[in-house]
């Protein structure tokens, strides 16, 4: 199962996160980020994951979002190619930090692609083209994933959504939690069971299934009502982190 995990990589927050990319140009407060992040790590420990903590990288404001420069598939790690110039250098550093956890490492040499645009469902990957992921990057990743035995579909991320997974997440074997905009995607509609959240609850669509628990961003009352019927949920506060367009999945790599 795609959400059955034993290990997780998380990076400790850097003070420069105050200068992280933010579509609304909001500067988050470092101390508040630290509190939210410490709680995230605590929950992962309580879920019995082996937490591998990486050191902060001050030079890269967005570097706590380790989901973007790499993906993991089986015993393989693929180092991606983040498109924003302020984030591209993260890939070289994270490669050196994590390569020993995996048997094989691959690299995206051409085109741009970030992990937030990649949704893994068993041996299948959906890549969402976005302002951060272009066709060449998606095709290069498809080539590598195909060689590892996985299939890939390439979709468009709806406009004004940063990453494909900003507003969707896999919550069961064939169930994807989606925002209203994501629910309109033909590819998702025709291939998966979609659980659509009401308008105004988009922030809860970036939930994170880990083994038998569903981690859901705090503060979405309707989403909680809907999800708690079928899932054992843990609410996690991400108010400060969401000021820089990030959520639960962005802050870790899991396998």
Q: Which two tokens stand for residue 137?
A: 């990057």
Segment interacting with ligand CIR (CB under 6 A) among 62-70, 90-98, 101-109, 120-128 = 62-70
Containing 236, the helix (H) or strand (E) segment is strand 232-236
Q: Does 246 bind ligand CIR (CB under 6 A)?
A: yes
Q: Does 202 bind ligand CIR (CB under 6 A)?
A: no
Q: Does 181 bind ligand CIR (CB under 6 A)?
A: no
Q: Give CA–CA dist 20/28, Å, rounded.
A: 8
Q: Give CA–CA dist 181/157, Å, rounded.
A: 9
Compare residues 20 and 204 and give the one whose CB is closer to ligand CIR.
Answer: 20
Strands (E), 150-211: 151-156, 168-172, 175-178, 193-196, 208-210
Segment interacting with ligand CIR (CB under 6 A) among 26-34, 135-143, 175-183, 244-252 = 244-252
Q: Give CA–CA dist 175/249, Å, rounded.
A: 17
Q: Does 125 bind ligand CIR (CB under 6 A)?
A: no
Q: Give CA–CA dist 107/140, Å, rounded.
A: 9
User: Could you say which of 9, 13, 14, 67 contacts ligand CIR (CB under 6 A)?
Assistant: 67
Q: Does 217 bind ligand CIR (CB under 6 A)?
A: no
Q: Which of residues 13-32 bind ligand CIR (CB under 6 A)?
A: 20-21
Q: Give CA–CA dist 104/47, Å, rounded.
A: 27
Q: Cβ 249 to ligand CIR, closest distance in Å?
A: 6
Segment interacting with ligand CIR (CB under 6 A) among 71-79, 144-152, 191-199, 242-250 = 242-250
Residue 175 to residues 169, 178, 191, Cα–Cα distance (Å):
9, 9, 10
Summarize as ranges the residues that interact with ligand CIR (CB under 6 A).
Answer: 20-21, 62, 65, 67-68, 87, 115-116, 163, 166, 244-246, 250
């Amino acid at each position: 199962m795609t959400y059955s995990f034993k290990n997780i990589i998380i990076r400790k927050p850097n003070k420069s996160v105050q200068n992280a990319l933010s579509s609304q140009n909001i500067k988050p407060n470092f101390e508040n980020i630290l509190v939210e992040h410490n709680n995230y790590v605590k929950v992962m420990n309580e879920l019995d994951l082996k937490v591998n903590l990486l050191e902060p990288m001050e030079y890269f404001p967005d570097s706590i979002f380790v989901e973007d420069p790499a993906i993991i598939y089986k015993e393989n790690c693929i180092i991606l190619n983040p498109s924003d110039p302020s984030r591209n250098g993260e890939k070289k550093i994270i490669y050196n930090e994590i390569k020993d956890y995996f048997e094989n490492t691959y690299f995206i040499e051409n085109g741009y692609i970030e992990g937030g645009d990649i949704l893994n469902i068993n041996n299948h990957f959906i890549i969402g083209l976005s302002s951060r992921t272009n066709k060449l990057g998606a095709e290069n990743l498809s080539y590598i994933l195909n060689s590892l035995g996985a299939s890939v579909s390439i979709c468009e991320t709806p406009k004004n959504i940063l990453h494909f997974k900003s507003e969707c997440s896999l919550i069961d074997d064939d169930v994807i939690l989606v925002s209203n905009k994501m629910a309109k995607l033909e590819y998702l509609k025709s291939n998966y069971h979609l659980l659509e959240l009401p308008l105004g609850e988009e922030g809860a669509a970036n939930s994170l299934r880990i083994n038998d628990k569903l981690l859901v961003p705090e503060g979405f009352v309707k989403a909680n009502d809907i999800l708690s019927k079928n899932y054992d949920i843990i609410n996690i506060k991400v108010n400060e982190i969401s000021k820089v367009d990030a959520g639960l999945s962005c802050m870790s790599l899991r396998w």
